Amino acid sequence: MSFLLTCPNCGVREVTDFGYGGEVSPRPKARPSRRELNAYNYFRRNVAGVQREWWVHRSGCRAWFLAERDTRTNDVKWTALPDEAPAADAGTLAAVDAATGMPGGGAVGTTTDVAGGGPGSGVVGR
């Protein structure tokens, strides 16, 4: 399925111009436990709904930026460079519960841990 994405630098382009960097997930603390590191590296929430994610303008300016997209409809709510992105809402950030090792604390849409989850905290593929 094809859809349009707006590069913050270049404007509207076909999604085939871009590379997908995955859902945004907060980085673990400086010295994470093995469980926290494993969860950060391998667990994804994979929500059916709006999620915040990384994209790179691969065939253009090569900038990494953030987008919020509804994964069911590919409706893109907004795109922005990391420094200009709106604050994250609960439920749009992937977060892994360190206690259980389960993404989002084991329940989709109940993520409340947005501390440290600001733009640029979940760098993927740089």
Nearer to Zn ion, 60 or 105 (CB): 60
Q: CA angle, corner 74, sides to 101 and 111, nearest 5?
A: 25
Least Å distance, CB 94 to Zn ion, is 24
Q: CA angle, corner 54, sides to 100 and 85, nearest 5?
A: 100
Least Å distance, CB 47 to Zn ion, is 26
Least Å distance, CB 93 to Zn ion, is 24
Nearer to Zn ion, 9 or 112 (CB): 9
Nearer to Zn ion, 43 or 64 (CB): 64
Burial of 65-81, coded b for 16+ CB within 10 Å and e otherwise, reads: bbbbbeeeeeebeebee
Task: Report the distance separating Cα 37 and Cα 20, nearest Å.
Answer: 22
| Burial (Cβ within 10 Å: 0-12, 13-18, ≥19) of residue 38 | middle
User: Which residues contact Zn ion (rule: CB under 5 A)?
Assistant: 7, 9-10, 57, 60-61
Least Å distance, CB 85 to Zn ion, is 16
Nearer to Zn ion, 21 or 26 (CB): 21
